[in-house]
Amino acid sequence: MHSHETRKHAQVRHLSHLNFIFTGWGSRVYEQTMVRLTRPLYQRVIEDLASLQLYEGKVLDVGTGPGVLARDIAHSFPRLQVYGIDLSTDMIRLARERTRQEQIKERVQFDIGDVRQLPYPDHSFDVVVSTISLHHWQELEQPLRELYRVLQPGGRVWIYDARFIKTEVVEKAQASTSFAGTPMEHQLVRTGKWPFAIYRRFALQKERQTDI
């Protein structure tokens, strides 16, 4: 998968004016600050995954940043193979560094790439998760098409982002993808000690193939 790193210069331009947060020293600052704030959300994702009773399979974390959630998943579910992908070379470098330190590199793989052109074969993953990344995606239709493509039949997508994300925007994008006609569940999510929900979760499931 690492051959895709040759595209990094084209990909990183999509980081726009927030580039400094996700590259260079900013990636380590992000790890030490923002990740602390989102850790309760990561715990919610772990709880949601546990509800599936998925004892084997592959999980993809889109917009993985320094890979904290992906590594948490690997520690919590020792029989799962976990992948994380992010546009930032420095974030992925940091994620790989932490994975080596935690001695889980046999089960966790981090790749540089764009949600609009995922470097994975069709039907690769049982579950795709994404946290606080959706609002960075340009034109939601193509990312949703890619998520559908890499899902196994019956696989699930759980996208968590701030509650200000409008459900109507995601539903409109969904309607022009293969997820059209699939009910999209959306709910406000409370985490940690917040007295109110600050996140929203969008849930989609790829239809199962049936014999004809």
Neighbours of 161 (CB within 10 A): 22
What's the pLDDT score for residue 41? 94
CA 181 to chain centroid, in Å, comes to 23
Is 157 in contact with 204 (CB distance < 8 Å)?
yes
Q: What is the DSSP string of 39-54?
A: HHHHHHHHHHHHHTT-
Per-residue pLDDT at 4:
41
Q: Identify the pLDDT of residue 15.
A: 38
The pLDDT score that the predictor gives to residue 12 is 35
Per-residue model confidence (pLDDT) at position 38: 84
> What is the residue extent of each domain of the chain?
2-205
Q: Which CATH class is domain 2-205?
A: alpha beta
First-to-final CA distance of the chain: 35
Q: pLDDT per position in the chain (212 positions), as tens?
A: 444 433 433 333 343 445 555 555 555 565 666 677 888 999 999 999 999 999 899 999 999 999 999 999 999 999 999 999 999 999 999 999 999 999 999 999 999 999 999 999 999 999 999 999 999 898 899 999 999 999 999 999 999 999 999 999 999 999 999 999 899 999 999 998 878 899 999 999 999 874 43
Q: What angle do CA 42, 32, 101 make, to 5 degrees?
A: 80
- Report d(CA 162, CA 198) in Å as an integer: 6
Q: How confident is the model at residue 209, as a pLDDT?
A: 73
* Nearest to 146, CA basis, from 212, 76, 60, 73: 60
Q: What is the pTM of this model?
A: 0.85
